[in-house]
Chains A and B, each alone.
Chain A
Amino acid sequence: MARVVVDVMLKPEILDPQGQAVQRALPRLGFEGISDVRQGKRFELEVDGPVDEAALARIHDLAESFLANTVIEDFIVKVEEVAEAAK
């Protein structure tokens, strides 16, 4: 079994007030030197069967039509190996 991860982020030109609120809290927590924070979403998809080109293409379509709204968001699809030890 393999895991496919879809990361979704607001497009860079779109204001992210949640990220800004996190960034503003950092100095209070003693974290210096972080000039910007942007918050996104991560989807972990457990895929039955092989993650071949066809499966990835389907997941790409899913991300493009549903997991992300490409009017306001960008996304990336990556394959993550599930640790063998977990078996």
Chain B
Amino acid sequence: MTARIGVVTFPGSLDDRDTQRAIRLAGAEPVALWHKDKNLHQVDAVVLPGGFSYGDYLRAGAISRFSPVMETVIEQAKAGLPVLGICNGFQILTEAHLLPGGMLGNDHLHFICRDQKLRVENADTAWTADYESGQEIHIPLKNMDGRYVADEYTLDKLEAEGRVAFRYVARGEAAHGYGNPNGSLRDIAGITNEAGNVVGLMPHPEHAVEPLIGSGRTDGLPFFTSILKKLVNA
């Protein structure tokens, strides 16, 4: 039996189907979860996908965070259930306070869509074990509210505890995907909770899992193989 990984669909989710596809390509079984359903249907892990749930009204992720499914996700994430939040999913995780800090509008006030260079800073989480620490990867980024902010104390704590999971690679040509794309503090692209089971990031690994599409890379696939290995070996 393989691992079952749930993907939540909120009103306004966009990347739920792509995420299911990435999970299938990695060799796990994707399970569609619905925002109004508290029941997680015995999944072994959950992905909160990208999109614009509730139109980003109030704040990105602020309304979804109170949906019935999130009650269970929050409770089980605290008990160790692996949860990955991508883009809007990351915003939902910060709004739910499963991850520290908050997400605000890009500093340049424009939507951004491009291939982005990232450095994997923590390859010990449930979702990053198939990467090498320090590895540079190239995956798509597309968002309006991608600016990660937190107070200095929280930022220092994240750094000291190795909880910055991904950083935008700041030095290099913008045309080749380098640079901080949104004004995120300390070039933070993604973070993890203390236990390493909850990870959130703005860029989209699920769009970089097949050589035939997108940037022609499969740099995002290790997210899904990492979790599969962890669940199968558990």
Contact = CB atoms under 8 A, between A and B. Distances in A.
Interface of A: 10, 13-15, 17-18, 21, 66-67, 69, 71-72
A71 B94 contact: yes
Nearest to A21: B109
Interface in B80-115: 94-95, 97, 100-102, 104-109
Contact of B66 (A10, A66, A69, A72): A66
Contact of A14 (B94, B109, B149): B149
B95 A69 contact: yes
Given A66-B62, A66-B66, A67-B58, A72 B105 contact: no
Given A67-B58, A69-B62, A17 B94 contact: no
Interface in B169-188: 183
Contacts of A69: 59, 62, 95, 102
Nearest to A10: B104
Interface size on B, as a range, is 20 to 34
Contacts, number: 33
B56 to A, nearest CB: 13
A13 B151 contact: yes
B210 to A, nearest CB: 36
Interface in B145-162: 149-151
Contacts of B101: 71
Nearest to A16: B104
Nearest to B150: A71
